[in-house]
């Protein structure tokens, strides 16, 4: 609990810093006063409430969802290198969302999470049934998922190649993973997915702990392995799909955040999921802040920042797991 509270405090500080920094700097105290309604800072209200606060909230909520999704994926596959991006779930969400952007320009933003969830769910179900051989195998889930991600990525590239230039430009920015221009509309479109599926993930921590022990031990503990793995895959897919639809393909958060959380609180998912979620929120908020300020006035999408950090981290984990 102490670790979780400290991480929440650090994340809130990062969010205040994100709202305060930009082309029009705002004192952090003014940010806190304006957001809490303690003082009428009319000079800052529009910039804070309309431009920066929704963007920062989207970044934190997306990071939270991706991290919880990644922790679940690592639990059900029993593989510390798994995350929704690596096994193809994010690719399915990306293909569905890019299809809407390119083929149906001007589609309402509220349809993107539904479309992305549908794409992610279709891919997850396909991977799950292809991996079935008298029972789903974590290793087959990963191998088939990697192959599916490659095929789906090629389909996405075809859409971008032959799409209309304005829609393609929007899709490319979206695929890089960015919270630029996000408004309250995106916050409210994404919140229902998080409010439904994040608590479901917390309810399933006992089953996730059992699956992490192996199928035989989980069965001995009274866990219906295939049923529970399917439900947890659905929850992970829903969180990842809605996150990708809202902020694009922000990679490696679902890989890094659970590992960092595991170093702090251990492998029990009752403590791991909330700590990983807060860690993911902090990572995306900080990545967005770095992307906005490092080469200002040029903005780097936060997905590129997380990739620059995450790719070496992935290689480090790969080397670390080589002998295991």
Q: What is the pLDDT of residues 42-62, one digit of tens each?
A: 778 888 888 899 999 999 999
Q: CA separation (Å) from 33 to 1, 42, 52, 282? A: 28, 11, 15, 22
| Statement: residue 134 has pLDDT above 60 | no
pLDDT digits (tens, 9 = 90+) for 157-215: 888 888 888 888 877 877 888 888 788 888 988 898 899 999 999 998 888 888 877 77
DSSP label at residue 133: S
Residue with tokens 């209200």: 45
Q: Do residues 119 and 241 lie in contact, with contact meaning Cβ atoms separated by under 8 Å? A: yes
Contacts of 324 (CB under 8 A, 6+ apart): none
Distance CA 185, CA 17 (A): 23
Q: Kindly report the average pLDDT of the chain as a whole number.
A: 84
How far is Cα 36 from Cα 287, in angstroms, rounded to an integer?
25
Instruction: Give me the residues paired with residue 136 across strands.
Output: 132
CA torsion, ordered 139, 238, 202, 225, to nearest 10 deg: -40
Q: Which SS3 state, helix, strand or coil, does residue 104 take?
A: coil
What count of Cα atoms within 13 Å lies in the side-chain half-sphere of residue 28?
A: 7
Coil, helix or strand for 83? coil
Q: Could you tell me the pLDDT band of residue 107, with boundaries at 50, 70 and 90?
A: low
- Surface-to-core class of residue 267, CB atoms within 10 Å of its CB (0-12 exposed, 13-18 middle, 19+ buried): middle
Which pLDDT belongs to residue 280? 94
Q: Taking a C-beta distance cutoff of 8 angstroms, is the pair 38, 45 a contact?
A: no
CA distance 183 to 187: 7
Cis peptide, bond prior to residue 297, ω within 30 of zero: yes
User: Tell me, what's the pLDDT at 323?
Assistant: 54
Task: Please state the pTM of the whole predicted model.
Answer: 0.89
DSSP string, 85-126: TTTTHHHHHHHHHHHHHHHSTT--TTHHHHHHHHHHHHHHHH
Distances (CA, A) of 321 to 81, 85, 139, 158, 262: 9, 19, 15, 35, 15
Sign, CA dihedral 162-164-165-171, equals negative
Phi/psi of residue 104, nearest 5 degrees = -130, 75
pLDDT at residue 132, as a whole number? 67
Please state, as a whole number, how many other Cβ atoms lie within 10 Å of the Cβ of residue 28. Answer: 14
End-to-end CA distance of the chain: 31
């Amino acid at each position: 609990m102490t670790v979780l509270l400290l991480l929440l405090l650090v994340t809130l500080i990062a969010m205040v810093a994100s709202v305060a920094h930009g082309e029009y700097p705002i004192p952090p105290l003014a940010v806190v006063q304006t957001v809490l309604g303690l003082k009428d800072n009319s000079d800052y209200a529009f910039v804070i409430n309309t431009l920066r606060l929704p963007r920062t909230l989207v970044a934190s909520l997306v990071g939270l969802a991706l991290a919880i999704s990644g922790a679940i994926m690592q639990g059900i596959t029993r593989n510390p290198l798994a995350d929704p991006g690596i096994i193809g779930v994010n690719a399915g969400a990306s293909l569905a969302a890019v299809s809407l952007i390119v083929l149906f320009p001007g589609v309402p933003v509220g349809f993107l999470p539904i479309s992305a969830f549908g794409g992610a769910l279709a891919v997850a179900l396909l991977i799950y049934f292809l991996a079935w051989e008298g029972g789903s195998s974590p290793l087959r889930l990963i191998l088939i998922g990697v192959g599916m991600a490659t095929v789906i990525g090629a389909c996405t590239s075809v859409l971008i190649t032959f799409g209309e230039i304005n829609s393609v430009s929007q899709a490319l920015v979206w695929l890089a993973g960015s919270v630029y221009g996000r408004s309250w509309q995106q916050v409210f479109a994404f919140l229902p997915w998080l409010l439904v599926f994040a608590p479901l993930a917390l309810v399933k921590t006992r089953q996730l702990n059992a699956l992490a022990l192996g199928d035989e031990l989980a069965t001995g503990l009274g866990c219906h392995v295939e049923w529970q793995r399917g439900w947890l895959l659905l929850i992970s897919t829903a969180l990842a799909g809605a996150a990708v639809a809202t902020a694009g393909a922000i990679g490696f958060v679902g890989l890094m955040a659970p590992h960092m959380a595991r170093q702090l609180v251990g492998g029990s998912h009752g403590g791991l999921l909330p700590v990983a979620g807060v860690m993911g929120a902090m990572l995306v908020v900080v990545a967005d802040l770095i992307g906005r300020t490092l080469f200002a006035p040029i903005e780097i999408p936060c997905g590129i920042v997380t990739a620059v950090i995450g790719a070496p981290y992935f290689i480090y984990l790969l080397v670390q797991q080589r002998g295991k």
